[in-house]
Amino acid sequence: MNKHIHKFIVISLLILLISAACNQPGETSSTHYITLRDGLGREVSLDSAAKRIVSLAPPNTEMLFAVGAGSQVIGRDTFSDYPSEVTEITDIGGSFGEYNQEIILSLQPDLILAGGINTPELVQSLEDLGLKVFYLSNPTDLEGMYAMLQTIGMLSGHEERANQLIDALKERVNQVTTQLANISSRPTVFYELDATDPAKPFTPGAKTFYTSLIQLAGGENIAGKLEAEWAQISLEQLLTWDPDIILLGDAMWGETPEKVAGREGWGTLSAVKNGRVYAFDDNLMVRFGPRQVDGLEALAKLLHPEVFQ
Amino acid sequence: MKLKQYPFLSLGVILILAILSSILIGSVPIPIQSTWQVLGSLFSSNRLINATHVAILLNLRLPRTLLMLLVGAALAGSGCAYQGLFRNPLADPYLIGAASGAGLGAVIAITLHWPANLLGYLSVPLAAFIGSALSVGLVMQLARVGLDTPITTLILAGVAVSSFATALTSLLLINASGELRRALVWLVGGSTLSGWFPVLAASPYILIGLVTLLTTGHQLNVLQFGEEQAQQLGVPVKRVRILVVLAATLATAAAVAFSGIIGFVGLIIPHILRRMWGADHRLLLPLSMLGGAAFLLIADIAARSLLAPQEIPVGILTALTGAPFFLFLLQKSHYPKE
Amino acid sequence: MLKVNSLSVRLNSTFRLENISLQVGGGKICGIIGPNGAGKTTLLRAISGILPTTSGEIYLDKKPLHTLRADERAKYLAVVPQSAFLPPAFTAEQVVMMGRTPYLNWFGQTTIKDEQITQEVMSQTQTLNFADRLINQLSVGEQQRVLLARALAQDTPILLMDEPTSHMDLKYQIELLNLIQSICREKQKIILVVLHDINLALRYAEQLILLKDGRIIMQGLTQDILRPEILTTVYELPINLYLDKSQKIFYLGN
């Protein structure tokens, strides 16, 4: 019986492999308007700037509008909400990770922008339907974000506008870093992502945008040595670290400095005692795009009020 | 009731209605005329059809309908087989570790960040399949007592392995952060792979598994008298058990690999059908497959339509039907009617 | 002739059956008696092949049965189990038809011959009048007759029965045993019946196997074994014999 099972498994694996191999679309070479390699390593070519774009993730939508391609967006995911005009655009799903492929198909887009939040399986099945998908991986620092802006600019035919935007953003960032050039100290910052259980809050670790933005704003992410993107620490650990500043990234879910002061055990933290607990709009950190520079500026003001009036 | 007389006819009709509804219902309204023309164009060349409609009907709705049909039949068919084999109306392919093994396999593949090309996107279903098979194999090994695999140890081993696999899965998910969403979506039965690929990939295994199961009807009937009596009547009990478990697991694993974890179908459908039409497995097995296919199709239609344009993963919907079903069973056992 | 040589069954380091050797011919019912825990049911289960044995051989004339696969063995040995678990879903006729399983293919397809045999044995056991009723709706006596019919449908030279008359009214006990006796004589079957009622053994069994603590104490003709002194020793109870005209009855003394 065992021998048969063996053979069976091998044959079935072979069948799966072969069918996967046969599933690769052929590429015809001709001169394209643009050919770029996307975040999944696929080469995507367009014959002209994309005019009918569907965005599957909020940052993509925001960036499209930022580079002036807003009128070319014909479909967007449920969670896209910025800028406000976006709500007028056809909703194509996206909660539970499921997008309404029928609606996407009926919109007849010439380009679909997928983001880090989308699965490779989804990209593949959209491609199988004959649609063109470009996957934009999540950037982890500002350079990555600029590259993303530039890519979106190129794909939508607004390369120049994108470059202008990038220059302007770089200028603002420069401003901030120059003004911070002579600071004497870097305050330690605890960025709270979630504290549903106040004894075990969540905070971003190393290699996240949070860490790099806090760094640029003249501070130091106190959880910056932790590996995880969403690290859960104990209250004890937080008390040991005793950060100078606490930022409430979960303010949009209702957390306030007053509530924090009332939490069991949190009263002894220096940040609480000195009143340096601030609500913070997490979207300014987490939605990749120009708003992150807004976020940087807001951060800098909070961390170094002495430099920025 | 007249309906009771013709189980195959009534289920067949329900199934056909479900198939038609599944093809006709979707977020983009397509008039029936159009649908007919598109389907007709498969057999003749008709250029007067809307290209988008063609894409939607032939590349989205048709394969999805077939997938749900196959998955529903696989889950209910193997559920029926397990219930017959274990002589336990609550037995279910998940009992024996098939689902949790698949879940673990899938999450491992996801968190290992396999590249999204060629094998990449295939890795998840493949890993789920392997996880499922390994899990069931482990359970059968653990449950062995000498040369035998008694049913009580089988169920205990199944629960033990399932719990372990689920715990490992949760552990991986906690550390996954970035891939968390992808993993969770898969686990709740979101068919993240649409189009023709999942149907073509899953169907050979599901069909082989189900056809094999269909042949075991008589053996399962005799097994209802207990393994001792069955053996005394000449049934090769061990062989039947291995065959049923293998075939049912094959079908279940393939189904789970491409549609995530969809519960309750394997439990509810055979149970209801047994109440209505008795436990002759030569009938119950094919009826369960028909009923499971119809049920899942209907659930999928609901999943697509209830919150349009949002699509609820079908696993969540079937889980919702589980609660009232068990409440109903509870009612019946509190107030048994003679 | 059924021959068993040195059959032993071990469970958790105790011998449930130790070195059982016996010979039973056809045409005469062979009763298996003995106190509780003697291993009577174990013996039947071991002979029918569902219990693993540590040693022993079983022969029907020259044919070895202990090496046969289940489906082959079932053509030689049929069992009527004691108060069997009966699934509610089948009719009496369906249950009897299952006795034909050793002769059917994997799919259980039946031929005219199978149907004829089924009808025949049901007629013999007087179970035809409830052939279409679900088996769990029958009385214990009726169920027992159906199980006997099933075993007969199996068409085997050897029939093993485990206390077939327990839970039955006396009237039906007699009916059933009469039936078994006539079948035994008619078909010259080798029939082993576990009985716990000594008087029934006296009345219906022409040969006996007396078991105690997993061993055979005596085997042979009923009149030689059913003696007060032997029974008293084996059962460890004062058992007396009452003789009246041509009737013999064993009863428990003080």
Q: What are the pLDDT digits (tens) for B245-281?
A: 889 988 988 888 888 778 888 888 998 898 888 889 9
In a domain, A96, yes or no: yes
Please tell me whether residues C228 and C241 are part of one structural domain.
yes
CB-CB neighbors (< 8 A) of B205 in chain A = 12
Q: Report all structural domains of chain B as residue ranges with CATH numbers, in order of start.
A: 9-334 (1.10.3470.10)
Across chain A, where does the E strand assignment appear? 34-37, 43-46, 53-55, 73-76, 111-115, 133-136, 188-192, 202-204, 220-221, 230-232, 245-248, 277-279
* Per-residue pLDDT at A1: 44
Closest by CA to B103, choosing from B293, B318, B252, is: B252
Check if the beta carbon of residue A223 is closer than 8 Å to that of residue A189. Answer: no
- Is pLDDT of A8 > 70? no
Closest by CA to A80, choosing from A95, A58, A55, A113, is: A58
In a domain, C34, yes or no: yes
C79/B232 CB distance under 8 A: yes
- Is pLDDT of A108 > 80? yes
Can you read off the two tokens belonging to residue C181? Answer: 């006796």
CA angle C125, C131, C133 (to 5 degrees): 130
Per the structure, how many domains does chain A have? 2
Instruction: Name residue C40's amino acid.
Output: K
Check if the beta carbon of residue B95 is closer than 8 Å to that of residue B155. Answer: yes
Tell me the C-alpha distance between A247 and A255, whole Å. 10
Nearest beta carbon to residue A40 from set B56, B116, B185: B116
Tell me the C-alpha distance between C54 and C73, whole Å. 19
**Residue B234: how many CA atoms within 13 Å on its side-chain side?**
25
Can you read off the two tokens belonging to residue A31? Answer: 């001169």
Which residue of C lies nearest to B217 if distances are taken between CA atoms?
C107
- Is pLDDT of C167 > 50? yes
Which has more confidence, C9 or B257?
Answer: C9
C85/B278 CB distance under 8 A: no
Closest by CA to C126, choosing from C170, C175, C75, is: C175
- Is pLDDT of B90 > 80? no
> Measured between CA atoms, how close is C233 to chain B, in angstroms?
34
* Per-residue pLDDT at A9: 62
Direct distance between the N- and C-terminal alpha carbons of chain C, in angstroms, rounded to an integer: 41
Proportion of chain A in helix, strand, coil states, percent, rounded to 5: 45, 15, 40
* Per-residue pLDDT at B34: 76
Phi, psi of A127 (to 5 degrees): -60, -40
> Measured between CA atoms, how close is B107 to chain A, in angstroms?
13
Which one of A169, A192, A220 terminates a domain? A169
Share of chain B above pLDDT 70, in %: 87
Residue C137 is part of which domain span?
A: 87-155
CATH code of the domain covering residue C196: 3.40.50.300
* Per-residue pLDDT at A23: 46
In a domain, A138, yes or no: yes
Share of chain B above pLDDT 90, in %: 26
In a domain, A8, yes or no: no
Cβ of A267 under 8 Å from any chain B Cβ?
A: no
Q: What are the pLDDT digits (tens) for B170-222?
A: 888 877 666 676 677 677 665 566 788 888 888 988 999 999 999 999 999 99
Radius of gyration of chain C (CA): 18
* Per-residue pLDDT at A308: 81
> Measured between CA atoms, how close is C249 to chain B, in angstroms?
35
C70/B278 CB distance under 8 A: no
> Measured between CA atoms, how close is C213 to chain B, in angstroms?
24
Please tell me whether residues A155 and A208 are part of one structural domain.
no
Q: In the B/C pair of chains, how many CB contacts fall below 8 A?
A: 80
Please tell me whether residues C69 and C4 are part of one structural domain.
yes
Average pLDDT of the residues of chain A: 87
Instruction: Name residue B143's amino acid.
Output: A
Which residue of A lies nearest to B52 if distances are taken between CA atoms?
A106
State whether ipTM is beyond 0.95: no
* Per-residue pLDDT at A281: 92
Tell me the C-alpha distance between C177 and C185, whole Å. 12
Residue A268 is part of which domain span?
A: 184-303
In a domain, C234, yes or no: yes
- Is pLDDT of C150 > 70? yes
B192/A125 CB distance under 8 A: yes
Which has more confidence, C37 or B42?
Answer: C37
Cβ atoms < 10 Å from Cβ of C137: 12
Can you read off the two tokens belonging to residue A252? Answer: 């949009």
Phi, psi of C111 (to 5 degrees): -110, 175
Direct distance between the N- and C-terminal alpha carbons of chain B, in angstroms, rounded to an integer: 18
Which has more confidence, A22 or C217?
Answer: C217
Question: Residue C117: pLDDT band by 50, 70, 90 thresholds?
Answer: very high
Angle of helix B7-24 relative to helix B32-41, nearest 10 degrees, comes to 100
CB-CB neighbors (< 8 A) of B189 in chain A = none
Can you read off the two tokens belonging to residue B118? Answer: 């060629």
* Per-residue pLDDT at B189: 62
Nearest beta carbon to residue B234 from set C74, C86, C89: C74
A96/B311 CB distance under 8 A: yes
Cβ of A150 under 8 Å from any chain B Cβ?
A: no
Residue A119 makes CB contacts below 8 A (sequence gap 6+) with A97, B181, B182, B185, B192
Please tell me whether residues C55 and C98 are part of one structural domain.
no
Direct distance between the N- and C-terminal alpha carbons of chain A, in angstroms, rounded to an integer: 79
Please tell me whether residues A165 and A46 are part of one structural domain.
yes
* Per-residue pLDDT at B131: 87
Give the residue from B185, B206, B249, B305 with the most A CB atoms within 10 Å of its CB, the best one to mutate: B185
Check if the beta carbon of residue C215 is closer than 8 Å to that of residue C18. Answer: yes
Which one of A143, A169, A195 terminates a domain? A169
Helix (H) or strand (E) holding C29: strand C29-33
- Touching A (3+ Cβ pairs <8 A), the chains are B
DSSP state of A251: G
Question: Residue A24: pLDDT band by 50, 70, 90 thresholds?
Answer: very low
Helix (H) or strand (E) holding A223: none
* Per-residue pLDDT at B120: 54
Which has more confidence, B115 or B184?
Answer: B184
* Per-residue pLDDT at A22: 47
Tell me the C-alpha distance between C190 and C213, whole Å. 25
Question: Residue C112: pLDDT band by 50, 70, 90 thresholds?
Answer: very high
Cβ atoms < 10 Å from Cβ of B67: 29
* Per-residue pLDDT at B114: 54
In a domain, A248, yes or no: yes
Counted residue by residue, chain B has a size of 338
- Is pLDDT of B109 > 50? yes
CB-CB neighbors (< 8 A) of C149 in chain B = none
Please tell me whether residues A102 and A132 are part of one structural domain.
yes
Check if the beta carbon of residue B232 is closer than 8 Å to that of residue C147. Answer: no
Is-cis flag, bond preceding C164, omega within 30?
Answer: no
B116/A1 CB distance under 8 A: no
Long-range contacts of A160-164 (CB under 8 A, 24+ apart): A161/A67, A161/A68, A162/A67
For chain C, the residues whose C-beta falls within 8 A of a C-beta of chain B are 45, 48-50, 52, 69-75, 77-79, 81, 84-90, 94, 98-99, 101-102, 104, 106-108, 150, 154
Show the DSSP H helices in chain C as ranges.
Answer: 40-48, 70-73, 92-98, 112-124, 140-153, 170-187, 198-204, 222-225, 228-235
Tell me the C-alpha distance between C54 and C176, whole Å. 35
Is-cis flag, bond preceding C88, omega within 30?
Answer: no
Complete DSSP assignment for C18-29: EEEEEEE-SSSE
Mean of pLDDT values over B35-52: 71
Please tell me whether residues C106 and C230 are part of one structural domain.
no
Grouping H, G, I as helix, E, B as strand and the rest as coil, residue C221 is strand
Tell me the C-alpha distance between B76 and B267, whole Å. 7
Cβ of B233 under 8 Å from any chain C Cβ?
A: yes
Please tell me whether residues A143 and A208 are part of one structural domain.
no
CA torsion, points A24, A29, A32, A34, in degrees to nearest 10? 50
The β-bridge relationship of strands A230-232 and A202-204 is antiparallel
Please tell me whether residues C59 and C164 are part of one structural domain.
yes
* Per-residue pLDDT at C147: 93
Question: Residue B49: pLDDT band by 50, 70, 90 thresholds?
Answer: low
Lowest mean pLDDT among A17-26, B101-110, B120-129, C157-166: A17-26
Which has more confidence, B198 or B289?
Answer: B289
Cross-strand partners of A133: A112
* Per-residue pLDDT at B322: 77
Q: Positive or negative, the Cα torsion across A237, A238, A240, A241?
A: positive
Please tell me whether residues C165 and C220 are part of one structural domain.
yes
* Per-residue pLDDT at B287: 95
> Measured between CA atoms, how close is B273 to chain C, in angstroms?
13
**Residue B236: how many CA atoms within 13 Å on its side-chain side?**
13
Instruction: Name residue B105's amino acid.
Output: G
Helix (H) or strand (E) holding C249: strand C247-252
Question: Residue B117: pLDDT band by 50, 70, 90 thresholds?
Answer: very low
* Per-residue pLDDT at B80: 95
Please tell me whether residues C18 and C62 are part of one structural domain.
yes
Please tell me whether residues C163 and C52 are part of one structural domain.
yes
* Per-residue pLDDT at A300: 92
Instruction: Name residue A224's amino acid.
Output: G
In a domain, A94, yes or no: yes
- Is pLDDT of A213 > 80? yes
B218/C79 CB distance under 8 A: no
In a domain, A11, yes or no: no
C101/B280 CB distance under 8 A: no
Please tell me whether residues A197 and A159 are part of one structural domain.
no
CB-CB neighbors (< 8 A) of C70 in chain B = 231, 234-237
Q: What are the pLDDT digits (tens) for C14-43?
A: 888 888 899 998 888 999 998 888 889 899
Do C and B count as touching (3 or more CB pairs closer than 8 A)?
Answer: yes
CB-CB neighbors (< 8 A) of C69 in chain B = 236
* Per-residue pLDDT at B71: 94
Closest by CA to C9, choosing from C40, C57, C48, C52, is: C52
Mean of pLDDT values over C70-83: 89
C106/B218 CB distance under 8 A: yes
Grouping H, G, I as helix, E, B as strand and the rest as coil, residue A114 is strand
pTM: 0.81
The β-bridge relationship of strands A53-55 and A111-115 is parallel
